[in-house]
Amino acid sequence: MLLIVLLSVFLAGRYEQQQAIKYFIAALFLACVFEGIQGLSLAESIRLIIQLLVFLLFMILFFRIPIIRILTGTVITLLLLQATEIITIKVFTTFAHKDLLDIKKDSLLWLFMIWPNLLILSLTFWLLYRKKFSIFKEDHPTARPQSYSIGSYLFFTFLYIFSIIGAEFLAKGSKQSGIQLAFLLGFEIFSILLVREIITSKARETELSIHKQYIADITSLFTTIRAQRHDFANHIQVLYIFAKQKNHERLLAYIEELVEQVKEINEVLVSDNPGLSALLQAKACQFKEKDIALNLQLFSSLTELDMRATEVNQIIGNLLDNAADAIELAGYPTQEIHLRTNRQESNTCIKVTNIRPVISADMQKKIFEYGFSTKPHHTGVGLAIVHSLVKKNGGTLSLISNEEHGTEFTITFPIKEGTKREQKTS
């Protein structure tokens, strides 16, 4: 069922790799419902029609896919499934010297016959994904995606287990083999543990990618500083020659150039927060290529915050990226972004300001929702991540955007009494 869901969504042009848990839950829920439909005292053709209608309705509501897209994707997927089943049944019955009814009576043989279908469908999905093939052009809805915990996933899984057991009892009554039930339960428990490990692994992978970016920013900062120190002797030699030649104009011009270079580095250096320094240096270089200046007023190094350094960088990095993207998309109504940090008696304040563009009142209500974005080819998760991290760490986030003040994001974190001035790094 999972492969049918994946192929249908992918062919409809709505596949998103980061929504893996959502696909698992959809597959389990549909499998549970289909098992219940199979137990109805109806003709086989009627049951198949009901299953198809339920599948289409669920996919439209759950994934918000237009009916033409999901209908096309589903039909092609079912045709592919039917073709693989016909081929595998023909091959297996020929080599096993048994007809289909005899194979169905033997659970082990039936299992061996199903696996080739799964492998073929998996290979098909993998090839389509690698080739980026889709019948429809990829686009994604801007609504907030649902998030599911491991607990909710387990709830759907247990529903699936009991539906299978119930269906087996309805089909075979009390003659159901205890060994077969034990095998079924064992397989489902293994599946639960496997999917739980996948979910945990995905979370670890995301955290690891954040730490890798954090380390990369610090490495870039240190490389820049080492390069400056390496060239220091050369600069001194040039200055000495200009001074000896009494070429004061060139001497002054050369010194001014050096001061400007050193100033760019010194502006982003925060003595006790190398992670923040690295982030600001990376952003300053990135924005410089876009002709956007990063104006810094750092009256707090943010090390007094009782939160991870990577989370602080995520918050500031996403706010700065959002401001730069808005400026670029609006055609550069301003070319400057202001970042201000300030520590007061009981809280620390972070402000990111760009004079233009201004965000409309309607947009301000939606801007922190997952998936919402006014920018093309953007996932719309940057500000949602900021909102989530601020809330997680007990802070407040406000937005002011009007013609008088421009656009200003303000984040305030309370400082607990006795908080050490040393950020968590893991």
**250 has pLDDT over 50:** yes
More reliable by pLDDT, 204 or 398:
398
What is the predicted pLDDT for the residue at 411? Answer: 97
Mean predicted confidence (pLDDT) in 18-46 = 79
For 89, 106, 110, 179, 385, the CA distances from 100, given in Å and listed in that order, are 7, 10, 9, 23, 53
Task: Describe the chain by its helix, strand, coil percentages, rounded to 5.
Answer: 65, 10, 25
For 62, 176, 198, 377, 396, the CA distances from 364, given in Å and listed in that order, are 26, 59, 36, 20, 16
**Amino acid identity, residue 332?**
Y
Q: Which helix (H) or strand (E) holds 401?
A: strand 396-402
What is the predicted pLDDT for the residue at 354? Answer: 94
Residue 318: which pLDDT band, with cuts at 50, 70 and 90?
Answer: very high
What is the predicted pLDDT for the residue at 193? Answer: 62
**Amino acid identity, residue 344?**
Q
DSSP-derived secondary structure letter, 424: B
Is 59 within 8 Å of 70 (Cβ atoms)? yes
For 12, 35, 43, 78, the CA distances from 48, given in Å and listed in that order, are 22, 12, 9, 12
